[in-house]
Structures are given as structure tokens and as C-alpha cells.
Amino acid sequence: MRQWGAAMCGLAAGMLAACGAGAVGAAPEPAAYTGPIIDVHLHAASASANGHPPTSICVGISANLKYDPAEPWGQVFGRLAAEPTCENPIWGPMTDEEVMSETIAVMRRLNIRGVLSDAPGAVNTWREAAPELFIPARMFNLAYSRETPEMLGEAFRNGEFAVLGEVTNQYAGFLADHERFDAYWALAEELDIPLGIHMGVGPPGTPALTGGAYRLQSARQIEDVLARHPRLRVYMMHAGYPYAAETKAMLYAYPQLYVDTGILQASVPRADYHAFFSELVQAGFADRIMFGSDQMNWPGLIEEGINAINEAPYLTYEQKKAILHDNAARFLRLETE
């Protein structure tokens, strides 16, 4: 009888599994979105952007938790990029030309248009190679950028860039509401320049990589800015990860605020990626999340980021389409078909 009971239980379990797989009555999984895509976070990066090429990045492995500070973190970080500890790392190319050509190839294959930032000379080179793919952006950091608000305003009016970002002040210890940046916020509001700013965390051990300058900041750091400049168009890169509660509160209070997915498809475990973004979606903010790959010198991060969105079990097809295309088209006021 025990054997018979076990067999019946096994049969019942098999039938239930079949039903769960969609055999009887289960709702089908939402289809993957395969239409045109907008990537709001691209870099005209060099092959050496993250160390001596070739360098790698492991998807979902954020740090070596066995780190001993007897060895400088910069050395450990560089070694992890050169000697990855995962089975299937994403490798970057050897040359700057290959970074550009491989990124362009991915974008053409997947029908992607993107916001491209980095050094102005590099951005111009990439735009000359594929003018139809790139929306030019101006990278900015208070510690080393030399353009005054007046200079940036003139460059914007001359069509040299269309988006101010990535703003990386956080890496130099200047948080979003620092008084030295307020004139730039005012400029973006006056000229209606979309602005993307780095928020949340950076690479593991970032303070050690920046000589102690880097400081963490959550979405709350931008609240006074949005209160003073209500007509700003701002998107927080990396969605203010991991501070989901603060990001939700700011999206609720300030409907002009958007976020992008940044490099989170690789820098955090996939389960945590989905847990974070599912919180934003469940709170009603799927229409203000934009896809951003932050590919740097790893063109493979672009498709990895798209796949992370398409595999999300909490997203409908319409929400995938919104995140991968429609939200950015609306935020950037692009013509859509």
C-alpha cells in the first residue's frame, strides 16, 4: 500500500507539474519583446576602461567576499577583471576600435538606438561611424570637467550634445544636491536638457578605487533639487540601487523623475535584480523605468541587459516594451512610429 500510495503521489505530482507548465489552464508566459529598443546608458569607452585589456565581468558576482585588506583592493579588483572566477564571463575586446565595432554590431542586430556619453572626441568618432544609432550626451564630473554652465549651454544650443550625462559627481564625493552643481541643474531646467545622474552604488570597493572620495547616495539626495527645479527632466542611473524604498518614495512624489537599469544586469545576482525591480513595478512605476546597459568596454552587457528584462516573470509584454523602448521615447521626446 505504501508503494502504491507513493506511486499515486508521484503521478499526481506529475499531473500538477504538467498543469503548471501550461498543459491545462495555466496562463502562458508573456512573450519576449523583440521590437526596436532604446538604450539610455551607453559609453564610447576605450578597451582599457576597466583595466589592461582584455578585461572581463562576471554576471551576478559583485565582489570577492573573502577579501583581506592586507592587499590593496585595487590590485584585487584588477586581478578579478583579468582572471575571472566565474565560468562564463563577458570579455571585452582588445582594442578601442573593436569595442566600437562590436557595440555597433549588437545595436544593429537588435535594432537599438542609444544615448552615448564619454569623452567628446570619442563620442564624435562613434557618431561618425554610425550616426543613425547614437544620441550624443555630455559626460560631466565637478572634479575634472572644465565646462561652466555657460559653456555647456552654448554647446547644447550648437547641437554638440542632447543629454547631459552621465553625471558622475558621486565618484568625487559630490552628492546630487551639492551647491556647486546647482547652476548646472538650473541650466538643465532652463534649456530643457534631459539629465542622467549616477545614483546608488558603483563597482564593489569604489571608495578604495577613488582614494576615499566616493560616497553612497540614495534617491533622497535629489529631493531638494527636484523641489527647487520642478521642470527638470531627470533619470537616476542604476535606479538608486539598492535603496528601493527611497526610489519608490521619490518616484511617487516627483512624477518627472525616471530611472534606468544601469549595469545591474551584471553587477548584482539576478535574483536580487528581479527583487529590486519587481518592487518598483509592483508599486506602479513600470512606465518610468528605462533600459540602460552601461556597456562600457563590454558590448556583451547590452544583450545581457535585454535578456534580464525579457525573462522577468513579473513583467507583462506591454511592460517589457515600455521599459525597452516606450518610456525612453517619451522621456527623450523622440518621434515614434
Question: 10 and 111 share a domain?
Answer: no
Question: 184 and 327 share a domain?
Answer: yes
Amino acid symbol at 279:
E
Question: 16 and 68 share a domain?
Answer: no
For strand 56-57 and strand 90-91, is the pairing parallel, antiparallel, or unpaired? antiparallel
Model confidence at 24, pLDDT cuts 50, 70, 90, reads: low
Tens-place pLDDT, residues 247-295: 999 999 999 999 999 999 999 999 999 999 999 999 999 999 999 999 9
User: Which secondary-structure segment (H or E) carries 163?
Assistant: strand 163-167
Task: Assess if residue 337 is contained within a domain.
Answer: no
**pLDDT at position 337, please?**
44
Spatial CB neighbours of 228, under 8 Å, sequence gap ≥ 6: 182, 185
Task: Assess if residue 155 is contained within a domain.
Answer: yes
Residue whose C-alpha cell is 535629489:
222
Length of the chain: 337
Read off the C-alpha cell for 195: 539629465
CA atoms of 199 and 177, how far apart (whole Å): 12
Q: What is the mean pLDDT of the chain?
A: 92
Domain encompassing residue 1: 1-30
Tens-place pLDDT, residues 92-142: 999 999 999 999 999 999 999 999 999 999 999 999 999 999 999 999 999
Question: 188 and 281 share a domain?
Answer: yes
The model carries a pTM of 0.91
User: Which secondary-structure segment (H or E) carries 290?
Assistant: strand 289-290
Question: 50 and 5 share a domain?
Answer: no
Question: 147 and 16 share a domain?
Answer: no
Mean predicted confidence (pLDDT) in 18-28: 51
CA atoms of 318 and 323, how far apart (whole Å): 9
CB 175 within 8 A of CB 236: no
CA atoms of 44 and 114, how far apart (whole Å): 11
